Amino acid sequence: MSSPAPALRSRRLLLASLATLPFSASSFGQPIAPASTPVPTEEVPYVQTPPLLVRRMLQMAEVNSRDVLWDLGSGDGRIVIAAARDFGARGVGYEIDRSLIRESRALAKKAGVAARTQFLERDLFELAFSQPSVVTLYLLPEYNERLKPLLLAQMRPGSRVVSHEWDMGDWLPDETLLFPAPDKPHGTKKEHRVMLWVIPAATAGRWQVALENKQETVEIALDQRYQIVTATANRGKVLWSSLRGNILSVAWQDESARWLLRGAIHGNLWRGELTKLGAWSNSTSQQAVRFIAKRQ
Ligand SMILES: C[S@@+](CC[C@H](N)C(=O)[O-])C[C@H]1O[C@@H](n2cnc3c(N)ncnc32)[C@H](O)[C@@H]1O
């Protein structure tokens, strides 16, 4: 059997060397996901996402003119072009196939979005992900698995990841859409699946919450696995907790009432508003009181 072409050989060497890097998916010391480092062995074939699905992926990620979208393995550039043309975003497509890069640039020019798009011949595993606010994927499971800790560690909280077809293993999606596809030419399942993940802030730890206008504090301890947070309080009772991006909400009950603490996490600070929850629903009533919480 003949040896692989130089470009392919160097890519395999790169993937093998990346496999030994210890990635932590948190910049605050407590990993929100286990580091995982499987090495993709299979080549991702060139298959296009149908245009309707491209649109649904971009809608799902709520792409807008403030976004920078990267498509990893961008094929003919359709996702990047649609993000720029129909949603006003800026976009970059990374692709290893040079002829597809040429085709993408020509299609972007034709669509009138050449100034807001870029197509670069790069291996997606050479990239760092601090720039994009949206990443789109149509790859293979082992590629997603390999990318998972990198996206979690490097993308800003609140950034979005959308994948066509393949999931992220134990990192469950925030949203999933299924579309019947009786004419799908490959795979046994005659449906398309697209999934959305919102990059969670790192929240685990003990938070000392001080309530403005009240001489009170409460300590809330948070455990986290990806976007799933579990909270307990040193007094009263936590009813539920949720995290989307860097917005953390904790519903908490003390001897007087049920309260909602909702605010944004920035590093070791969580700031927001405390509102009283209605008696029979989670609708908030009365005036909000500001709170500030510090991670111990
Ligand atoms: C399934 S196609 C998806 C194309 C496009 N994103 C879409 O949804 O229509 C996957 C693409 O990834 C490219 N690709 C595969 N491995 C890659 C790598 N390591 N770096 C960059 N692109 C890669 C392939 O050449 C192919 O065009």
Atom of ligand 1 nearest to the CA of 54: 8
Query: Three-state DSSP class for 292?
Result: strand
Supply the residue whose CA is at minimum distance from atom 16 of ligand 1: 44
Please state which of the ranges 132-136, 171-175, 254-258 shows the lowest mean pLDDT. Answer: 254-258
pLDDT at 204: 97
pLDDT at 12: 37
Atom of ligand 1 nearest to the CA of 74: 6
| 74 CB near ligand 1 (under 6 Å) | yes
The class that CATH gives domain 6-198 is alpha beta
pTM: 0.86
Mean pLDDT of 113-132: 97
| 96 CB near ligand 1 (under 6 Å) | yes
pLDDT at 30: 44
pLDDT at 35 over 90: no
Domain ranges of the chain: 6-198, 205-295
pLDDT at 212 over 80: no
Select the more confidently predicted residue: 288 or 128: 128
pLDDT single digits (tens) 133-167: 999 999 999 999 999 999 999 999 999 999 999 99
| 56 CB near ligand 1 (under 6 Å) | no
Q: Maximum Cα–Cα distance for the chain, whole Å? A: 76
Distance 10 CA to ligand 1 centre (A): 17
Distance 22 CA to ligand 1 centre (A): 25
Query: Three-state DSSP class for 135?
Result: strand
| 97 CB near ligand 1 (under 6 Å) | yes
Query: Three-state DSSP class for 123?
Result: coil
Distance 221 CA to ligand 1 centre (A): 42
pLDDT single digits (tens) 57-66: 999 999 999 9
| 123 CB near ligand 1 (under 6 Å) | yes
Atom of ligand 1 nearest to the CA of 78: 9
Parallel, antiparallel or unpaired: strands 90-95 and 68-72? parallel
Distance 202 CA to ligand 1 centre (A): 30
Torsion of CA 188, 193, 199, 203, to 10 degrees: -80
Supply the residue whose CA is at minimum distance from atom 27 of ligand 1: 75
pLDDT at 190: 87
Fill in the DSSP letter of residue 214: S
| 75 CB near ligand 1 (under 6 Å) | yes
Tokens coding 253: 């009950």
Label residue 255 by pLDDT band (50, 70, 90): confident
The class that CATH gives domain 205-295 is mainly beta
Atom of ligand 1 nearest to the CA of 164: 8
* Mean pLDDT taken over the chain: 86
pLDDT single digits (tens) 86-122: 999 999 999 999 999 999 999 999 999 999 999 999 9
